[in-house]
Amino acid sequence: MRIVFIGSVVFSAKALKELIKINADVVGVVTKQESAFNSDFVDLSTIAQEYDIPYLYVKNINSSESIEWMQSLQPDVIFCFGWSNLIKKDVLELSPLGVIGFHPSLLPYNRGRHPLIWAKVLGLTKTGSTFFFMDEGADTGDILSQKEFDIAFDDDAAVLYDKMTETAMKQIVEFHDQLKSNTYKRVKQDTSVGNNWRKRGAKDGAIDFRMETKSICNLVRALTNPYVGAHIDYKEESIKVWSVEPGEYNEFNIEPGKILQIADDKIEIKTGDSSIWLVKHDFNELPQVGSYIQ
């Protein structure tokens, strides 16, 4: 089964290596030379060169050059794992088995942008890893493989990324063999249910200390490495916060945003319901105890 592989993020690299590990017939790799869009960007050409796999750098996956190059490789299937641009009809129809895409949620629920981040920010306790046959919609194609995994309160973005990857690698091994032996199943998505998550912007990463401690923990943990980090607007600066822990302050006559204490560069701040410790942050000069972050 001849596979053309499209990808440009850390997950793409791990999936490509997994396919190589199981001796899948990857006949070509499409990737990017650079990306200002993906914080977890990876140039897959290094892997392709290591294993003597032809590769192509593209800026527009739907260009005639890209299509002609992929078509020349005569793929039976195209795997597109970790690509931020829309795949159009001409690419979708290049191979007999179509294009297999990936979305880290339990489709048809939570289609759209930033699925791991939204799942953590919203305090979900589970999400999933879904591989599907891509169509011209956004995450709407028939499901090939889907598995669920748990989200713990202490999980941060890196832990969730690892959980997602570990789950997905097992699926790739399973459905590769199913596609190869023509024993796979297609499960149509129920379009009467589900939802779409919107694109997040800079304001979505701003910490408001009127929020409950649990919500602030979820926000910071959702946006920490490999992502951009949550932030505090302080004295006309944007201060990144990378790690937090719940505090135990239970008096309710103190306003949210007041700095309660500082210990070893850790800052305890009053929240809407208790307090929170900023454990790792980008303050160059620590604020004063008793002052406010609003």
**Which 3 state secondary structure label does DSSP give 250?**
coil
Q: 131-171 pLDDT, tens per residue?
A: 999 999 889 999 999 999 999 999 999 999 999 999 999 99
**CA 237: distance to chain centroid?**
27
Note the pLDDT of residue 37: 66
Note the pLDDT of residue 177: 97
CB 168 within 8 A of CB 129: yes
Burial 39-78 (b: 16+ CB within 10 A, else e): ebbbbbbebbeeeebebbebeebeeeebbebbeebebbbb
Domain ranges of the chain: 2-196, 207-281
Q: 188-234 pLDDT, tens per residue?
A: 999 889 999 999 999 999 999 999 999 999 999 999 998 999 999 99
Average pLDDT, stretch 247-266?
93
Note the pLDDT of residue 85: 83
- DSSP-derived letter for residue 164 is H
- What percentage of the chain carries pLDDT values higher than 70? 99
Average pLDDT, stretch 253-259?
95
DSSP secondary structure string, 188-231? ---TTS--EEPPP-GGGGB--TTS-HHHHHHHHHHHSTTS--EE
Question: Is-catalytic flag, 103?
Answer: yes
Note the pLDDT of residue 84: 82
pTM: 0.92
- What the block records as the tokens of 71 is 């078509």
CATH topology of domain 207-281: Methionyl-tRNA Fmet Formyltransferase; Chain A, domain 2 (3.10.25)
Which residue matches tokens 């916060």? Answer: 241
Q: Which residues contact 265 (CB under 8 A, 6 or more apart)?
A: 283, 286
pLDDT band at 35 (very low <50, low <70, confident <90, very high): confident
CATH class entry, domain 2-196 = alpha beta
Active site residue: 103, 176, 231, 281, which one?
A: 103
